[in-house]
Amino acid sequence: MTALRILHVLSASVWVGGTVALVFVGVPAIRRLEGEARAVAMRTLGRRWRPIGWSAMALAIVTGLWLTQRHGGFHEAALDSDFDRTLILKSVLVTLLVIGALLHDFVLGPRLQRELRAGVATAPATRRQLVVVGWFNFGLTIVVPALGAVVLSTLD
């Protein structure tokens, strides 16, 4: 059980730490570039981060589900305790985070790249959508682990 918890916390730490580094270090540095250099740098950063970030997120989800099952979180009376209600909320937010990350990484990001290369007039609107989804995901990336700490506090 201890190894499972360590794996869960470490994988979540990689996801959260990597996301914080991207948001506050990687992307701002790349924004200083112009034209094709900016596009190449952003694409390269995304391609290098995705395998690490998505693997960490997947491992955090799998170990989180396993921990939930080990603590009896999948029973009929799922709304009877703070533990269960918090886990349900955390699960909903993780689901939204996964959907948002998929939208950001595989729909809006590639669309913006194509629009910028083609000089399409809708690129600013797509960029705004990408930024909104990115900040929404960042917020969830911070809130979800905080809820994890709340879940742990209900076990005492």
For 137-146, how does the pLDDT look when each residue is reduced to its tens digit (9 = 90+)?
Answer: 999 999 999 9
Judging by beta carbons within 10 Å of its beta carbon (0-12, 13-18, 19+), is residue 36 exposed, middle or buried? exposed
Q: Domain range holding 16?
A: 2-154
What digits encode the pLDDT tens for the residues 89-143? 898 999 999 999 999 999 999 999 899 889 888 899 999 999 999 999 999 999 9
Tokens 């997947």 belong to residue = 58
Please state the domain count of the chain.
1
The residues, ordered by sequence, that sit 6+ positions from 43 with a Cβ below 8 Å of its Cβ are: 113
- pTM value > 0.75: yes
* pLDDT in the model for residue 104: 95
